[in-house]
Amino acid sequence: MQYKIMLDAGHYGYRNQSPAVKEYYESKQMWELHLLLKTELEKYGFFVATTRDVQEKDLAVVKRGRAAKGYDLFISLHSNAVGGSKGGNVNRVDVYTAYDNLNNAHELGQILVKAISECMGVDAGNSKTRKSEKGDYEYYGVLRGARSVGCPLYYIIEHSFHTNEYAARWLMLQENLLRLAKIEAAAIAAYFGVKKEFELGDINMDGKLDSIDVMLIKRAYFGTLTLTDEQKRLADINADGEIDIFDYLAAKRKYFKG
């Protein structure tokens, strides 16, 4: 089955500037990150959508959460802030999820905390919750919205604190955002048991069918190369259960067609 994921970039326009690194705005960097994460998740075959099309445009938090209707997972991306004289020292990744651990939400929460804190080189916090003081519902509007439409798993990820200079500088670098996107996508895929999907014929699984794959399929059909089960599946282009000359010719055709 194809899982569906709704991504939400926390905030819009120029919101939540870092006091430590003036160029840093939570709204800008998290927008970047959520687009990168979308691309990385799509490489695993997930169907991914975002709550907003335009960075400059706001949408009420509950409505963003409600966009998760029909989705298997909702994630809102943020960096945190804390005041006070010691505030700048706090450098920790936390995740917020269902107050009642709905669908064992903490499992993926902790996986994300660990993966992201290691990637950023900061402290690992926890998969946390925050229940409204007024009743049995989520304190955070995005989470309340996601729950109200029946989304089974929903999270706010705080990518450490932009009040910390190290974290803000780290998050300013595009290559770091890409690293984050890749490890988050990998963690989510592992949780759902989803493997990267490769085009038929791409038997070395590097993301493109090229002359190397054609050559490898030829070797497989001559019996001079042993394939793994996954490679056999990808090499059997005409799906007749055998790797033969027809697969080799089909790979060649696919390659020349580009």
Residues that bind Zn ion (CB under 5 A): 10, 78
Smallest distance, Å, CB 120 to Zn ion? 16
Nearer to Zn ion, 26 or 40 (CB): 26
Minimum Å distance from CB 29 to Zn ion? Answer: 11
User: Nearest approach, Cβ of 62 to Zn ion (angstroms)?
Assistant: 15
Q: Which is nearer to Zn ion, 66 or 78 (by Cβ)?
A: 78
Q: Give one DSSP letter per residue of 206-223, joined into a string.
A: SSS--HHHHHHHHHHHHT
For Zn ion, give the closer residue by CB, 78 or 106.
78
Per-residue burial over 118-131, b if 16 or more Cβ lie within 10 Å, else e, is ebbebeebebebee
Shortest distance in whole angstroms from residue 129 CB to Zn ion: 17
> Would you tell me how many other CB atoms lie within 10 Å of the CB of residue 31?
22
Which one, 10 or 65, has the nearer CB to Zn ion? 10
Give the residue closest to Zn ion by C-beta. 78
Smallest separation (angstroms) from Zn ion to the CB of 97: 16
Going by the DSSP 8-state scheme, the letter that residue 12 receives in this structure is -
Contacts by residues 172-181 (CB-CB < 8 Å, ≥ 24 positions apart): 172/21, 172/23, 172/24, 172/29, 174/32, 176/120, 177/29, 177/32, 177/33, 177/36, 178/36, 179/119, 180/33, 180/36, 180/37, 180/116, 180/119, 180/120, 181/33, 181/36, 181/37, 181/39, 181/40
- In the complex, minimum distance from the CB of residue 80 to Zn ion, in angstroms, rounded to a whole number: 7
Rounded-to-integer distance, Cα 231 and Cα 224, Å: 14
Q: How far apart are the first and last CA of the chain?
A: 28
Nearer to Zn ion, 34 or 78 (CB): 78
With beta carbons less than 8 A apart as the criterion, state whether 129 and 99 touch: yes
Least distance from Zn ion to the Cβ atom of residue 200, Å: 42
Q: Give the nearer residue to Zn ion in terms of CB position, either 28 or 78.
A: 78
Nearer to Zn ion, 10 or 145 (CB): 10
Contact (Cβ atoms closer than 8 angstroms) between residue 34 and residue 12: no
